[in-house]
Structure 1
Amino acid sequence: MFMRRRPLPLICLVGVLSAAGALVSAPAFAGKDGLLEPSLKLAGRGTGAPRVALTFDACMGAADQRILSTLIDNRIPATIFVTARWLKRNGDVLAVLRAHPDLFELENHGAMHVPAVDKPVAIYGIPAAGSPEAVAAEVNGGGGAILAAGAPAPHWFRGATAKYTASSIAQIRSLGYEVAGYSLNGDDGSLLGARAAAHRISAARDGDVIIAHINQPSHAAGEGVAEGILALKARGFTFLRLDEAREQGSHATVN
């Protein structure tokens, strides 16, 4: 099992800043707010090269070409979690992603980037969906947008903030999705500096599921994310998409 460390808030930037000084790995327990932040790792341990899964959230805004070009130029596969909001604005980038089906797996990040939590709370200042009906709208709206864009049906869901209740996890699973946690927070919601993001990602271990953001091209973190990926490649890591691996996750998020 990986070390349990308390992470900085995992958010796509919506004008909310997170506190500094926390560590990077995803917890496998409920926080003080009573919400769950599930973990996810690649199952088993291979005898060959170490493996990681790169996952990126595309919440809203644009696309970070520093990261995208690094992935394409180096033939590095990744799983991209997209919202309906992001798809609507980034049709040209979607065309690039779909032109490389061997590299990119598109998965569901929701319709409007609303936390998929079925009780009325705010998470890092972001109002949650607040009811089972609103959770369903967020999940189904994101999946429907991916299908409408002509991409294959998504099988994974990751909600805004990556926090849930046990009941919202069960509801998302009932809608046909596995819930994507993570084990290594690569950029703290794109708030890290380039050097810190590069250090975090380059220090990944075999089996890590890494989360970072690909929708903040003006932030320094993207430069470090790209640098960290190349450092892993230089170390001989193999990169897997979530659909290419078996995973183990906390809180009944995966089979």
Structure 2
Amino acid sequence: MRIQIIIAGAVALSLPAAVNAAQLATAPLVPVTTPATAPVAPSILPSHASAHLPKLVEPQLHIARAGNGSPARIALTFDACMGKADERILSTLLRERVPATIFVTARWLRTNPAAVAIFRDNPDLFEIEDHGENHIPAVDFQTSIYGIAAAGSPEAVGREVGRGADAIRAAGLPEPRWFRGATAKYDLTAIHEIRNMGFRIAGYSVNGDGGSLLGAQETLKHIGSAKDGDVVISHINQPTHAAGEGVAKAILALKARGVEFVRLSDVEATGDNDTTGRQPGMF
């Protein structure tokens, strides 16, 4: 008897039943007819196969510092993954005239027309960038990140990025130049593919709200720790989470400190893992 396991949607690994049988007996098996887009839980992969999966990276990003004793320069960036707009954050940005870069998915754009109208009416404040079509991690092999199935192939990564950009254009917003994928994790070949599509990839240097799961005070503390040149990531799509309250308070606290807020398009930004270097033909 032999057991077949699909790895990365492409290779059928045939193992004798005697090999690690005790572990395999309790793991869900993936039929060989499973479509290439179906996620493969890491738990069903033999340890030696998992060790050969490509490396995932979570890129850092910094902007050019103000320096010379000037007030700290900080870029606030927000992910709008799905769900509704967090009015606590959006109204604070609007009222205080604080510029920000917001990464939106196509699915979020479809369900938040009022927020999209605000973006269109305030181009001096809001830079709208690509967060993908359906909030799928831009990883071109099959895996799961924080419980979210990755795109799983170069073609699927291309669709996620390209259709997200299409939705931004269709909403009447300016051409996106940056991409940030769901979970902010990538494999190196996916980074190369996205760069070849003409996008820079937005990492970050300060995790403001822990995926919107932190409490208000902890979020305030995290964002308040930002220094000159930092890029803060938070979420603007969880109006029922306490983190949003902390984000709004942190914006006010940073402004009171005299921080210079900028969008990613306003200053030079540098990321690691070849995520931002300009390439021929890039804007």
Do the two structures share a fold, i.e. TM-score over 0.5?
yes
Kept after mapping to 1: 8 A contact 2:138/2:190: yes
Measured in 1, the distance between the counterparts of 2:210 and 2:222 equals 10
Report the AA paired with residue 173 of structure 1: R
Shift of 1:46: 2.5
How big is the shift at 1:34?
A: 2.4
Gapped regions of structure 2 (runs ≥ 5): 1-52, 278-283
How many Å separate the matches in 2 of 1:174 and 1:34?
20
Q: In the alignment, is the contact (CA less than 8 A) between 2:74 and 2:262 conserved in 1?
A: yes
Q: Per chain length, whose mean CA-contact separation is higher, i.e. which structure has more relative contact order (CA < 8 Å, sep 6+)?
A: 1
1:127 offset after TM fit, Å? Answer: 0.4
1:41 to 27, 44, 62: 62
Which of 63, 66, 89 aligns to 2:111? It is 89
Q: Could you tell me the TM-score, scaled by structure 2's length?
A: 0.78
Contact 2:55–2:188 (8 Å) recurs in 1: no
TM-score by length of 1: 0.86
Please give the residue correspondences for 1:1-255 in structure 2 after superposition, counting only pairs within 5 Å: 34-47=55-68, 48-255=70-277
The residue identity in structure 1 corresponding to 2:84 is: A
The amino acid that maps onto 1:59 is C
Number of residue pairs the alignment of both structures matches: 224
CA distance in 2, matches of 1:85, 1:52: 28
Superposed structure 1 runs of 4+ greater than 6 Å apart: none
Q: Deviations over 1:26-80 (max 9, x none)?
A: xxxxxx9820000000124432211000000000000000000110111100000
Secondary structure, counterpart of 2:218 in structure 1? helix
Larger Rg: 2
Tell me how large the CA RMSD over aligned residues is. 1.1
1:73, 1:43 → 2: CA distance?
A: 26
Residues of 1 paired with 2:175 and 2:95: CA distance?
A: 26
- Displacement of 1:228 after TM fit? 0.8
Aligned identity (percent) is 59
CA contact (8 A) 2:54 2:187 kept: no
> How many angstroms apart in 2 are the aligned matches of 1:44 and 1:72?
24
User: SS of the counterpart of 2:265?
Assistant: helix
Query: Retained in 1: the 8 A contact 2:65–2:73?
Result: no
For structure 1, list consecutive stretches of 5 or more residues without a partner in the other structure: 1-31
- Deviation of residue 195 (structure 1)? 0.5
